[in-house]
Amino acid sequence: MTKSIFNNATYTSRWIVLMIDLSLSMQAFFLAYLIRFNFSLQFGAFDFTKQLPLVGMASLLGFLTVGSFKGIVRHTGTKDAINVFWASTVVAAILFTSALVIRNFNVYQVYSIPLSIISVHYLLNIVILIASRFIFKYLFDRIASNYQKPKNVLIYGAGESGLITYTTLSNSISNKYKIVGFLDDAPLKIGKQFNRIRIYDPKSIDSNFIQKHDIKEIIVSIQKIKPFELFEKVDNLTNLPVTIKIVPPVQQWIDGELNVGQIKEVKIEDLLERTPIKINNPVLRKELDAKVVLVTGAAGSIGSEIAEQISRYTYKHLILLDQAESALYDLQQKFVREEVENFSIELADIRNQERIESLFENKSIDLIFHAAAYKHVPLMEDNPYEAVRVNVYGSSLLMKNAIKHNVQKFIMVSTDKAVNPTNVMGATKRVAELYANCLNTQGKTKFVTTRFGNVLGSNGSVIPLFKRQIEKGGPLTVTHESITRFFMTIPEACQLVLEAGVMGNGGEIYVFDMGESVKIFDLAKKMIHLSGRKYPEDIDIKITGLRPGEKLYEELLSNEENTIPTYNEKIMIAKTDNINVDHIKAKIDSLISELSIDHLRLVKKMKAIVPEYISNNSEFEELDDVQVKVKKLKIS
């Protein structure tokens, strides 16, 4: 009950603050006279009592003009001090002006205040009014601490975000915090202090330190960090007997300000979607300006993010195409809620020739971002016909219509599985890459390919799978203990697709810097750990064996490729060998025109188009020639 009453009285009325400020200003005026006359009450010919109302009116006008009394005293900071400074300046300016007017016109001399008094009053006003606020703030904090025992916390991150978190916690009314220290990995910061609070090396924090200082929480406040680096730091902290909380990304702060209520216990998704994305790219803005843009596969993980990022630019029209009705409807409703303008929905299958031709005839399309594809490796290994029909035939329809209708640029979203493919899905994407390369010189359309690895949180990816398995109590399923994958956040991958599309002149394959590959078995153990469980006591990991067509290690470049840097350090151009365009195109056209449900026949044709396509753990291994089999045997 006491606490409730106390909380209800935490914000003092602004009018009470105004009255206190007026009282302090007039007291400062009296003190100015005392200082001027050596603390004697004999003020000579000056009538202090008649000048006091003028000071009160000037102070009222100054405080009302600047609004210095409107700040919350409990949260007094630099901004409030600056407001007091300006209010005091306005008061002094009014008093100076009135004194000069009285002297020049020789009227109401009794109200004439000496300029020296005004100057001293000005300085006293600034000092007293600012000091009073910080004194009230200090007293309030001391009183508040009697009602609630402060919670001892550490803040991980002594950068800008960490300091903002410190200020937010220090000003919290609903919860009391005592910041025991900061943690930071930067050697130059370790051992130093901020506001008399020491910065520690995270490696020095153990259970003894936690118990000695009665630490209840460690709050992670780091913004500019790669997802898996943050994942690693938080995972190391979970061994300690404390609650781990995390500050959300800056873009999620309310009106650009952090609120204590936003600092919550860490979740896996909080760690994996942290990469800052720069939406306002002037080069991309120029490229999209007044253009009609088509995004295929717009309801998927990649396509929807590409569409989302494009929607923040100025364009003529945005066309969102997909065959997934429900997901496309959800995207449409999202755009309506966000009041996105100039977009339309096309429920269509890229394999439908008449539908695709009609779309191009009725829309003057300038740019195409082609993200529509079948992507699940095991499913495509069992259904090569469908994989070829969507990833090769469907892509070819779009490419041919792009040339026919003079589309300026065609940007294809490919995958690292197209590099030295070991499965049907990767092989179909490589065939589509080759077809785009073949068509690049056939018309005005510039064909650009972007290639990257797995994206965090995409439909069917390992992170959501592990989360569901943890919620069910396990076990987590991993195909091989040594399997590794590259990962990138969906927003970052799509930003790079857009940037690569802008810089492309046609014929390039752009590969993205995916960072270090991640061992999936280790990722599974970390996710179990972060969920508050133990491996293998609470949740076990089951090794299921490599699936058909699955690789142990993904690659972004084939053995024959190396890269050329671009102005963006995360985007590189793959240097590829020259191909016999007519020969390769003829083979791909034959594959498309003679589509057969005979899986062996289809795969054999793809192996003829993509010689580096060597099946792994698949029924199609029998199609690889003897030399390839011997080579694989030696490697294994």
Same domain membership, residue 293 and residue 259 = no
Task: Report the DSSP beta bridge partners of residue 294.
Answer: 319, 368
Kindly state the average pLDDT of the residues 525-554.
86
- Whether the per-residue pLDDT at 554 is higher than 70: the answer is yes
Position 636 confidence tier, pLDDT thresholds 50, 70, 90? very low
Give Cβ neighbours of residue 125 (< 8 Å, ≥ 6 apart): 24, 25, 28, 59, 88, 91, 92
404 shares a domain with 446: yes
pLDDT computed for residue 251 by the predictor = 65
Confidence of residue 588 (pLDDT cuts 50, 70, 90): very high
Q: Band of the pLDDT at 459, cuts 50, 70, 90?
A: low
pLDDT digits (tens, 9 = 90+) for 189-216: 999 998 889 999 999 999 999 999 999 9
> If pLDDT is split at 50, 70 and 90, which confidence band does 7 have?
very low
Predicted local distance difference test score (pLDDT) of residue 223: 82
Domain assignment present for 635: no
Give, to the nearest 10 degrees, the angle between helix 462-471 and helix 520-530: 40
Collect all residues with Cβ–Cβ distance below 8 Å to 240 and sequence separation of at least 6.
205, 206, 207, 210, 218
**Residue, of 433 and 594, whose pLDDT is higher:** 433
The total number of residues shown for the chain amounts to 636
> CA angle 521-523-528, nearest 5°?
100
pLDDT at residue 360, rounded to an integer: 97
The residue that leads in pLDDT, 145 or 541, is: 541
Give the residue among 67, 66, 26, 72 at the shortest CA–CA distance from 49. 26
pLDDT (mean) for 29-39: 85
Query: Does residue 182 share a domain with residue 75?
Result: no
| Position 368 in a domain | yes
Global confidence as pTM? 0.68
Q: What share of the chain is helix, strand, coil (3-state, %, to 5)?
A: 50, 15, 35
The owner of tokens 């000069």 is: 100
> What percent of the chain lies above the pLDDT cut of 70?
88
Which among 233, 238, 217, 234 is positioned nearest to 169, based on CA atoms?
Answer: 217
Q: Which residue has the tokens 């004697």?
A: 40
Same domain for 298 and 370, yes or no, is yes
Q: Total domain count for the chain?
A: 3
> Per mean pLDDT, which range of 222-231, 234-243, 416-425 is the poorest?
222-231
Structure tokens, 523: 């990722």
Residue 48 CB-density burial (10 A; 0-12 exposed, 13-18 middle, 19+ buried):
middle
Minimum mean pLDDT range among 135-149, 491-505, 546-560, 565-579: 135-149
Q: Please report which confidence band the pLDDT of residue 635 belongs to, taking 50, 70 and 90 as the band edges.
A: very low
Task: Report how far residue 554's alpha carbon sits from residue 453's, in angstroms, rounded to the nearest whole number.
Answer: 8
The pLDDT, as a whole number, for residue 555 is 72
Q: Are residues 324 and 468 in the same domain?
A: yes
Residues 60 and 201 in one domain: no
Q: Would you state the pLDDT for residue 5?
A: 37
Q: From 116, 145, 174, give the residue that closes a domain.
A: 145
Q: How far apart are CA 606 and CA 95, in angstroms?
A: 89
d(CA 274, CA 227): 6
Query: CB neighbours of 213 closer than 8 A, spacing ≥ 6?
Result: 152, 180, 181
Q: What percent of the chain has pLDDT over 90?
A: 42
The alpha carbon of 202 is separated from its chain's Cα centroid by a whole number of angstroms, namely 24
Residue 394 has pLDDT above 90, yes or no: yes
Whether 292 and 425 map to the same domain: the answer is: yes
Give the Cα separation of 314 and 287 in Å (integer). Answer: 10
Per-residue b or e along 546-583, where b marks 16 or more CB atoms closer than 10 Å to that residue's CB: bbbbbbeebbbbbeebebeebebebbbbbebeeeeeee
Which of 615 and 278 is assigned the larger pLDDT?
Answer: 615
Domain-located, residue 603: yes
Q: What three-state secondary structure class fits 582?
A: helix
pLDDT above 80: residue 243: yes
Q: Which of 242, 272, 302 is the last residue of a domain?
A: 272
Phi, psi values for residue 591, rounded to 5°: -60, -40
Flag the least confident range among 43-57, 381-395, 471-485, 507-521.
43-57
Residue 224 pLDDT more than 80? no
* pLDDT at residue 477, as a whole number: 94
Task: Say if residue 100's pLDDT is above 70.
Answer: yes
Please check whether residue 266 lies inside any domain of the structure: yes
Q: Locate tokens 């899905």: which residue?
A: 425
SS3 state of residue 153: strand
The answer for residues whose C-beta is within 8 angstroms of residue 546's C-beta and 6 or more apart is: 479, 480, 483, 552, 616, 617
Q: Where residue 352 falls among pLDDT bands split at 50, 70, 90?
A: very high
Q: What is the residue-averaged pLDDT of the chain?
A: 85
Residue 1's pLDDT band, with cuts at 50, 70 and 90, is: very low
Spell out the residues 6+ positions from residue 126 whose beta carbon is closer than 8 angstroms to its own: 84, 85, 88
Say if 130 falls within a structural domain.
yes
Report yes or no: 175 and 3 within 8 Å, Cβ to Cβ: no
Contacts of 131 (CB under 8 A, 6+ apart): none
pLDDT tier for residue 355 given thresholds of 50, 70 and 90: very high
Q: pLDDT tens across 318-346, in order?
A: 999 999 999 999 999 999 999 999 999 99
Give me the mean pLDDT over the 345-358 stretch.
Answer: 97
Q: b/e per residue, 103-127, with b = 16+ CB within 10 A?
A: eeeeeeeeebbbeebbebbbebbbe
- Residue at which a domain ends, from 84, 110, 145: 145
Distance CA 293, CA 502 (A): 13
| Comparison of pLDDT for 235 and 276, the residue scoring more | 235
Q: Which residues contact 188 (CB under 8 A, 6 or more apart)?
A: none
Instruction: Give the pLDDT confidence score for residue 540 in this predicted structure.
Output: 94
Residues 121 and 167 in one domain: no
**Do both 206 and 317 map to the same domain?**
no
Residue 633 lies in a domain: no
User: Do 83 and 29 share a structural domain?
Assistant: yes
| C-alpha closest to that of 199 among 139, 239, 154 | 154
- Which residues form the domain of 263? 149-272
Beta bridge partners of 412: 370, 449
Residue with tokens 């035939």: 393
pLDDT of residue 397: 97
Query: Cα 90–91–95 angle (5° rounding)?
Result: 115
User: Domain for residue 90, yes or no?
Assistant: yes
DSSP structure string for 272-296: HS--------HHHHHHHTT-EEEEE
Q: What pLDDT score was predicted for residue 423?
A: 95
Question: Quick one: tokens of 28?
Answer: 């400062």
What CATH number does residue 422 fall under? Answer: 3.40.50.720
The token pair that represents 115 in the structure block: 């300029």
Higher per-residue pLDDT: 291 or 532: 291
Based on the fold, state whether residues 43 and 161 are members of the same structural domain. no
Q: Based on the domain organization, do 505 and 580 belong to the same domain?
A: yes
Using alpha carbons, select from 229, 228, 236, 234 the residue that is nearest to residue 206.
236
Q: Is 342 left (phi over 0), alpha (psi -120 to 50) or beta?
A: left
Is residue 286 one of the residues assigned to a domain? yes
| pLDDT at residue number 3 | 42
Q: What is the pLDDT of residue 560?
A: 54
- What is the distance between the alpha carbons of residues 96 and 108, in angstroms, rounded to a whole number? 15
